[in-house]
Amino acid sequence: MAYHQVMSTKENFHAESSSDSPYCIFLAGSVKHNWDYAAKGMRITIESCRISNPDIPIAVIIDDDSSAIRELFAGCEIIVIDPSELQLGLRQDLGIGVYFIFYVHLLSHYKKALYLDGDIVVLGDLKPLFEIEGKLIARRFARDLSVEYVDHKLIMQKEQVPQVTDCINTGVVLFDMEYWGSGQLKQEFLSLAEEHGWYAFKNPDQGFFNIISWRHHIKNNLPDIYNKFAAEIYKNPTHETKVTESGILFPQLSNSDIKIVHFIGPLKPWNFAKEGYSLDKNCYCYYEQFLSWQNRFNERLIVYPNFIKRKIKSIVDK
């Protein structure tokens, strides 16, 4: 496999597919250190994109180029980076892959790039999303930003960020590449890490992103149909499951069609059965539809014994 140098000697690019599309979808993560996330998360996200949006090319920013990875992400544009300049923050459970989103400049050959977490399934047409104008589009919340930092007063006062402000969820982010294609997102991110210290950020990607968006006066809000959390769906009394013309199951809330379901939180759908959680709740059907029939059967087979084990453990631990 031939490589072309891009941006620096630490960053390599390989295109598995070509497209005339001005837009792309991209995922990012450490496949060296989290195979489950790559194989059971990112791959399913990609499969859902291919079925629901077949005309939009897909890229992955990863840290491995083995034959297994090339097979796993066949048909995607593969960008391999050397993350040696990065360090882990406090959230050891998140791992180094959370930082790879900051390498979005490697997609500067597109007009717009849509980042998706690997715990997401895409169930509807994303073309209207790409037409939204703004430097950076993400779902925003009014929340206490201090929870993102170890010493929030030191960081937030220095950055002049109010304690309660609009915060970005980085699960779905649309980048205008005319603005971010020069690499300034990565430069600002590394500068923040050097200035405040890596361990000052509890939730590495979101902690950095929120300061950067504040610095750039970004207030654009992503409609939540493009980043709807699973818990918001299954707890909503208006939740109905519908089917697209192409046969994709999707949720509808108060007559609004949800385009993207986000399984935010530590428990991911590929671990529901292993952990003994119901597969008929928690929006699992929207994830399951993209699995092979063998994997569906296996998950259904193991969920009930694990459910019993979890219940017994909870009784014993009381």
Beta strand spans in 125-258 (E):
136-144, 164-176, 228-229, 240-243, 249-253, 256-257
Flag whether pLDDT at 233 surpasses 90.
yes
* Residue, of 96 and 233, whose pLDDT is higher: 233
Q: Higher confidence at residue 187 or residue 202?
A: 187
pLDDT over 90 percentage in the chain: 64
* pLDDT for position 249: 98
Domain count, the chain: 2
CA distances from 273 to 48, 277, 298, 313 (A): 20, 6, 9, 16
How do strand 112-116 and strand 164-176 relate by DSSP bridges? antiparallel
Domain that holds residue 187: 4-223
Q: How far is CA 181 from the centre of its chain?
A: 20
**pLDDT above 90 for 110:** yes
Would residue 228 count as lying in a domain? no
d(CA 151, CA 155): 7
In a domain, 200, yes or no: yes
Structure tokens at 132: 């939204």
Q: What is the pLDDT of residues 175-192, one digit of tens each?
A: 999 999 999 999 999 999
DSSP string, 203-232: SHHHHHHHHHHHHTT---B--GGGSEEHHH
Assign residue 173 the CATH number of its domain. 3.90.550.10
Whether residue 229 is contained in a domain is answered as no
If you average pLDDT over residues 13-33, what whole number do you get? 78
* Domain identity same for 24 and 109: yes
Please tell me whether residue 100 adopts helix, strand or coil conformation: helix
Here the tokens at position 190 are 């590394």
